[in-house]
Amino acid sequence: MTARLKIGDLARKTGKSVRALRLYEERGLLSPMRSDGGFRQYGADELARVYWIAKLQDMGFKLAQIESLISTVESQDTAPVAMESLRELFRGRLGDTRSQVERLVQLERDLMEALAYLEGCRACTTEHDLEGCATCDSVHEDAQVPSLVAGVHLAPSTPAPIPSSSLVRPRDT
């Protein structure tokens, strides 16, 4: 028999709050045993379930979706059918995660490019205002202004066009 954990011990071990664990129980996501004195007691299965819930939440699942997932899996006639529904769900999330990683990698590149460009601004010896940065050639002679820097100011000679879709139009009242 493995040692049972009290709710506070489970909370410390998993990084979840006692309140969250009670909510999981209320929503049917956890089913702890009770001691003779009525205290919740959690074993290895409940510990694994809390870690699983945390992973699903990290993937963007809400508790209601997790409840539905559990219900779907538990309502299947056979384990292979239940696992197929999980496999399809996870396959979809993997695609979403890969897209998010690609966006983050591009953001990382943009940030590195902007930081490298801005390092050159430390050596700027030209006294000018913010608009002057758009045409400054004291340290960035032939450098393309990175998009994360270009949006800070507009070059005085080439104002950026405002897309008509972003214009606010008054409503008819």
Question: How crowded is the C-beta side of 21, counted as CA atoms within 13 Å?
Answer: 25
Report how far apart, in Å, the C-alpha atoms of 79 and of each of 84, 85, 86 are: 8, 10, 11
Looking at residue 166, what is its pLDDT? 47
Neighbours of 108 (CB within 10 A): 10
Per CATH, the number for 7-75 is: 1.10.1660.10
Q: At what angle do helices 63-74 and 44-58 cross, to 10 degrees?
A: 120
Mean of pLDDT values over 121-145? 71
Looking at residue 14, what is its pLDDT? 95
Looking at residue 162, what is its pLDDT? 55
Residue 121 banded pLDDT, cuts 50, 70, 90: confident
Contact 16, 57 (CB under 8 A): no
Report how far apart, in Å, the C-alpha atoms of 152 and of each of 48, 106, 111, 122, 147 are: 48, 19, 14, 17, 9
Report pTM: 0.64
Report how far apart, in Å, the C-alpha atoms of 110 and of each of 4, 28, 101, 142 are: 50, 44, 14, 18
Alpha-helical segments (H) within 59-125? 63-74, 79-121
Q: Tens digit of pLDDT for each residue in 64-74?
A: 999 999 998 88
Looking at residue 173, what is its pLDDT? 46
C-alpha 52, offset from chain centre? 17
Looking at residue 17, what is its pLDDT? 96
Q: How far apart are the first and last CA of the chain?
A: 72
Q: Tens digit of pLDDT for each residue in 72-108?
A: 888 988 989 889 988 998 999 999 999 999 999 999 9
Annotated domain spans of the chain = 7-75, 77-121
